[in-house]
Structure 1
Amino acid sequence: MKGQEYAPFLSKIVKVKKHTEIEYTFSMEYFGDVKPGQFFEVSIPKYGEAPISVSGIGPDYVDLTIRRVGRVTGEVFERYEGDSLFMRGPYGNGFDVDDYKDSELVIIAGGTGVSPVRGVVEYFSHHPGERKGMTLIAGFKSPGDILFQADFKEWDKTMDLILTVDGAEDGYGGRVGLVTKYIPDLDLKDAPSAKAIVVGPPAMMRFSVKGLLERGFLEENIWVSYERKMCCGIGKCGHCRIGDKYVCVDGPVFPYTVGKNLLD
């Protein structure tokens, strides 16, 4: 393995966008190739590092949507535009948009699972002629937990969008229910040739894939992403090993034909 794959580099924070009290998107200066679904290791000296999925890709930046859940991410939230963070990567397998071109596409994402698929959604939102029908089902715990709200308003114009929450207080006028509730009613022209991406909590992914298979999707046309337990990013520490696969190296994006055998 090349030595530079271990070495972090300093990246400037170009922009910070607040979604919720514990979830922000940091636009980080970056020049290089990267795919949706890949991840970077973000680090701060004396605090450690954390793997963060790419949630957006620009010509000279990448978006990293970060949830404040521990020592490292808590310290990241003390940084602002113009500050810098150390990063290394990108690592892992991502989503290749070429796999989904000229196909009906269904993307099902739960909570922060929207982050790794956001680049795919953005691509086909801006290139509708390169795909057939497209449906995005995105679920969050509550209206206050919804990420990328401005994006959803734009995506609603270019695809079939089903934005739902598990539960809502009085006054909320949107959809309520788990993402799986909406799979039986998907408007599909030819399910066996359609493609699907499923990302989110393990239980949500399991039942969503089950619903897609019941609708006639083929296993080889479904992709999933596993991101739990990743640590070093280069397959050395063993924390993310499941069977003979290292999630950080062999994944985090897997075809379902492989992912179904990764019992975590």
Structure 2
Amino acid sequence: MNNVVMPKPCKVLDVVRETEMEYTFKVETDIAPEHGQFIQLSIPKIGEAPISVSSYGEGWVEFTIRSVGKVTNKIFELKRGDTLFLRGAYGKGWPVDKFKDKNMVIIAGGTGVAPIRSMVNKFYDEEGYVKSVNVIIGFKNEKSVIFKKDLDKWSKKFNTIYCLDNEEKEGFNKGFVTEYIKDIPFKSFGDNYETVIVGPPNMMKFAAEECMRNGVSQEKIWVSFERKMSCAVGKCGHCRIDETYVCLEGPVFNYVKAKDLID
């Protein structure tokens, strides 16, 4: 009988330093996640942490992790060939089947790029899967930019707007992502579009409101509500908001429900 909460030891295949605070770990595993799901990463006697999958392929997954606490700090000490324990994948990911043949608008901030990375690469690799892709991605400053190779690649095929909060650099606009939502041609899409927003809670809230001011219906907005998980199987109640268990019903929610999920 398969134990859904039993971690399995997996080998670290590679470690890539994205920024001073974010590393990407490629791990060998037979877990086959969906775009937008998360996996519980653990180190014995230290603890575990829920981390979104930033990429995956046959026999491996990648996690882009920010060092912010006891578990992630310890994971940052791992090197190629070391062991990391995984369990999952958990939660509901992006409704990629629903996105087929749509005009996609994707808005992300900071490490919020990680949960959308594999999906955007699917749109890049599978020509014609979606009708068009408009991307707005913001970072605090140049030092916090992650996935630089992906950003360059996406800009060659998609309509991309990259911005830094308070800096002017070549290839980036200055300002917040919300300032550039008005530049997305929503009216030209008719009813054939969907919008994805990922980032800090306030960023998602203000970006969703700005989208709606530009004529986007809340039914066409999707967010990843990345609250801290614990058991990941709806037993401990750690991620519960009112009657909603985020680990089971999310982390991806339509904004019709997400707008009422207030801590």
Q: Per the shorter chain, which TM-score range?
A: over 0.9
Classify the secondary structure of the residue corresponding to 1:258: helix
| 2:182 alignment partner in structure 1 | 184
What does residue 141 of structure 2 align with? 142
Instruction: Give TM-score, length-normalised by structure 2.
Output: 0.95
SS of 2:131's partner is coil
**2:249 corresponding residue in structure 1:** 250
* Contact 2:222/2:254 (<8 A) preserved: yes
Distance 1:78 1:67, change over 3 A: same
TM-score, scaled to structure 1: 0.95
Q: How many residues align?
A: 262
Name the aligned partner's letter for residue 234 of structure 1.
Answer: V
Alignment of 1:1-264 (within 5 A): 4-168=3-167, 174-188=172-186, 189-264=188-263
Q: 1:174 offset after TM fit, Å?
A: 2.2
**Over aligned residues, Cα RMSD in angstroms?**
1.4
Partner amino acid for 1:178? F
Specify whether residues 60 and 3 from structure 1 end up closer, same or farther in structure 2 by C-alpha distance, changes over 3 A only: closer
For structure 1, which runs of at least 5 residues remain unmatched after alignment? Answer: none
Looking at structure 1, the residues matched to 127 and 159 of structure 2 have their Cα atoms a distance apart, in angstroms, of 12
Cα distance, 1:256–1:160 mapped onto 2, change above 3 Å: same
Q: Indicate if the aligned counterparts of 1:50 and 1:72 stay in contact, CA closer than 8 A.
A: yes
Aligned residue for 2:138, secondary structure, equals: strand
* Percentage of pairs with the same residue: 45
Distance in structure 2 (CA, Å) of the matches to 1:62 and 1:236: 26
Q: In the alignment, is the contact (CA less than 8 A) between 1:191 and 1:215 conserved in 2?
A: no
Deviation at residue 172 of structure 1 after TM alignment: 5.1
Contact in 1 for aligned 2:139/2:165 (Cα 8 Å): yes
How many angstroms apart in 2 are the aligned matches of 1:93 and 1:58? 19
User: Gapped runs of 5+ residues in structure 2?
Assistant: none
Alignment partners' CA distance in 2, 1:115 and 1:33: 17
